[in-house]
Amino acid sequence: MKRKIQIFALLTVFCSQACQQFLTEEPASVLNPVTYYVDEAALNSGVYAAYANLRAIYGQDESPFRLTILGTDLFTNGKNQSGLPFDNYSPDLNSFAPEVGYLWNNCYKTINLCNTITVSAPEVSMNEVTRARVMAEARFIRALCYFWLVQSFGDIPLPLQPTAGVQREVARVSGEEVYEVILEDLRYAEANLESTYPQWGRIRKGAVQHLLSKVHLVREDWSAAANYAKQVIADEANYALLSDFSQVFHYENQENKEIIFSIQYEYDPINSGSGNLTHVYFTNSYSDIPGLMRALQWGRPFTRYAPTPYLMGLFDDEKDARTDIWRTFDDYYYNDPNNLPPGKNLGDPLDPSLRERPEFHPALIKYWDPTRPTVNELRGNKDFIVFRLAETYLIAAEALMMQGDRVEATWFFNEVRRRAQRPGYDLTISADELSVDLILDERGRELAGEMHRWFDLIRSGKALERIKAHSARGQSIQSFHLLRPIPQAEIDRANNEVAQNIGY
């Protein structure tokens, strides 16, 4: 699967601004589907390009992280202040913010490609099972993109037919209508995808059911959310919680049973583009300290995102093994022979007086990638995990609790905690302890940095409360911030009047 994505990712490149460097004669952004997607090979190339397009959301740019983790109860800016308006909710969080345009443009580019595939596939002479799989993959990816958009912007345009040129009419439809299309796409995908495929990285039935559980959770259809989550969990042939939490993210273990869906990256810079850059976002600025220089094992210090005191206060290091996925002050030592402080030697532990310096905020190492040749190499090679089974358990727990089945809900919740607890400790809870806030805290511990938090807070109705109480500097958040602004460029280029979200 990864190799096929490499081969056909050039189609995505053609759609990008860099296409002039390659085959400018036939950029895919203007390819006519009637004349291009006329055989099975071309149709498959379109599907692989759709997979590759997801890299824009998952790993190749920090904008989606700014939209999903900054300004929440869990993360704030590191020393680098990029994306600051999404952390402090200043007036600069507006329709001109590049982050909203980035998400909007990349999602709709991929949606248009998926529309082209779904319209073209019925006209291609090919095996019916293969045709259904191709369409199912395209419709899953379309649903995933629409899920990002509708959660972020509310009412949005809902094109279901391909476009080959500039469209100047923009019609926003209700979020409910968008969700109906998402569910229709996912039901089709569920019916036409297998539980497993030989190629790792291909969308499987479990990925569809996991996304269905998330969509139903947002729509407060608790029964459906619980049922879909339980179906994934019951597929023990394909999915299981790993016994060691840190191994889920290890660079030598990128194909494991906890991963439900991941975006594939490769060591080949030609076919993997800029690579997965996530490894630099959660580092701290350790190299600003005299006596320390950049080192591959500590990562390149972009220092984009730092955990809030609230997030780190959720962990009990003595009891909870999930703290092992954080690099803290005690993991650093003097390593710069040309800049050692007086009286210090190479390999010495750091002076304790540095312990509270902001340069040493805990660094999340879920995305750590030591496969890069040098510390300054930005292009990372690790796959990006989109869905994993621990979240499925927490979805089941939340949905069951909300429909009143606290006993079964607690069992699913405790399964995640049992995996997290260190030997000799018991982190499980009783049914009467379970609550929305406890589930949000557990999602914080388990899923920190995995681009879920903003949506978790919006879905649960806890965004304003938790951000004002626990964020580093988000106390200016207002209710209108719960939807992102429609990108101003989309409004300006439309012939018709396009309403902006209230407050912007």
184 and 270 assigned to the same domain: no
18 and 153 assigned to the same domain: yes
The two tokens of residue 291 are 């006596």
159 and 13 assigned to the same domain: yes
Give the residue from 347, 382, 417 where a domain finishes: 382
Task: Give CA–CA dist 50/109, Å, rounded.
Answer: 9
- Contact present, 310 and 349 (Cβ < 8 Å): no
Question: Does any domain span residue 407?
Answer: no
Q: What is the pLDDT of residue 11?
A: 42
For residue 43, the surrounding DSSP H or E stretch is helix 40-53
Task: Give CA–CA dist 63/223, Å, rounded.
Answer: 34
Which range marks the domain in which residue 294 is found? 265-382
pLDDT in tens, 292-310: 999 999 999 999 999 999 9
- β-partners of residue 77 are 305
List Cβ neighbours of 153 (8 Å cut-off, separation of 6 or more): 100, 104, 483, 484, 486, 501
Query: Which range among 78-92, 154-168, 314-328 shows the weakest confidence by mean pLDDT?
Result: 154-168
Task: Give CA–CA dist 325/90, Å, rounded.
Answer: 32
- β-partners of residue 408 are none
Task: Give CA–CA dist 327/295, Å, rounded.
Answer: 14
Indicate the pLDDT class of residue 148, thresholds 50, 70 and 90. Answer: very high
Give the residue from 358, 382, 406 where a domain finishes: 382
Question: Does any domain span residue 478?
Answer: no
Task: Give CA–CA dist 116/118, Å, rounded.
Answer: 6
| CATH number of the domain bearing residue 159 | 1.25.40.390
Task: Give CA–CA dist 333/311, Å, rounded.
Answer: 25
Q: What is the pLDDT of residue 37?
A: 85
3-state secondary structure 115-138: HHHHHHHHHCCCCHHHHHHHHHHH
Q: What is the number of domains present in the chain?
A: 2
Question: Does any domain span residue 470?
Answer: no
User: Which ranges of 326-426 would DSSP assign to H, the alpha helix?
Assistant: 389-402, 406-420
9 and 117 assigned to the same domain: yes
285 and 141 assigned to the same domain: no
Find tokens 């703290």 and name the residue.
323
Residue 285 has pLDDT above 70, yes or no: yes
Q: What is the pLDDT of residue 7?
A: 42
For 245, what's the count of Cα atoms within 13 Å in the CB-facing half-sphere? Answer: 23
324 and 186 assigned to the same domain: no
Q: What is the pLDDT of residue 36?
A: 80
Residue 8 has pLDDT above 90, yes or no: no
27 and 142 assigned to the same domain: yes
Task: Give CA–CA dist 156/148, Å, rounded.
Answer: 11
pLDDT in tens, 156-211: 999 999 987 777 888 999 999 999 999 999 999 999 999 999 999 999 999 999 99
pLDDT in tens, 489-504: 999 999 999 999 999 9
pLDDT in tens, 329-386: 999 999 999 999 999 999 999 999 999 999 999 999 999 999 999 999 999 999 999 9
Handedness of CA 365, 371, 375, 380 (dihedral sign): negative
160 and 269 assigned to the same domain: no
Find tokens 């559980």 and name the residue.
213
Residue type, 354: L
Query: What's the N-to-C CA distance of the chain in angstroms?
Result: 43
159 and 269 assigned to the same domain: no
Task: Give CA–CA dist 119/138, Å, rounded.
Answer: 11
Alpha-carbon separation of residue 312 from 75, 320, 327 (angstroms): 10, 12, 12
Query: Which range among 170-184, 268-282, 406-420, 446-460 shows the weakest confidence by mean pLDDT?
Result: 268-282
pLDDT in tens, 98-109: 999 999 999 999
Task: Give CA–CA dist 437/31, Å, rounded.
Answer: 49
Q: Give backbone dihedrals phi and psi of 415, rounded to 5 degrees, phi first.
A: -60, -40
Rg of the chain in Å (alpha carbons): 23
pLDDT in tens, 39-59: 999 999 999 999 999 999 999
- Contact present, 366 and 262 (Cβ < 8 Å): no
Q: Give backbone dihedrals phi and psi of 261, rounded to 5 degrees, phi first.
A: -155, 130
Mean pLDDT across 317-321: 98
Give the residue from 382, 405, 428 where a domain finishes: 382
Mean pLDDT across 107-127: 96
The beta strands (E) that lie in 148-300 are given as 156-157, 172-173, 259-263
CA 504 to chain centre: 26
For 40, the 3-state DSSP assignment is helix
Question: Does any domain span residue 122?
Answer: yes
Indicate the pLDDT class of residue 32, thresholds 50, 70 and 90. Answer: low
Question: Does any domain span residue 234?
Answer: no
List Cβ neighbours of 311 (8 Å cut-off, separation of 6 or more): 73, 74, 75, 444, 448
188 and 40 assigned to the same domain: yes
pLDDT in tens, 126-147: 999 999 999 999 999 999 999 9
Question: Does any domain span residue 313?
Answer: yes
Residue 29 has pLDDT above 60, yes or no: no
Alpha-carbon separation of residue 185 from 128, 136, 180, 389 (angstroms): 18, 8, 9, 22
Question: Does any domain span residue 275?
Answer: yes
Task: Give CA–CA dist 85/71, Å, rounded.
Answer: 9
17 and 108 assigned to the same domain: yes
pLDDT in tens, 11-26: 443 343 333 332 233 4
Question: Does any domain span residue 228?
Answer: no
For 201, the 3-state DSSP assignment is coil
Is residue 494 exposed (0-12), middle (13-18) or buried (19+ Cβ within 10 Å)? middle
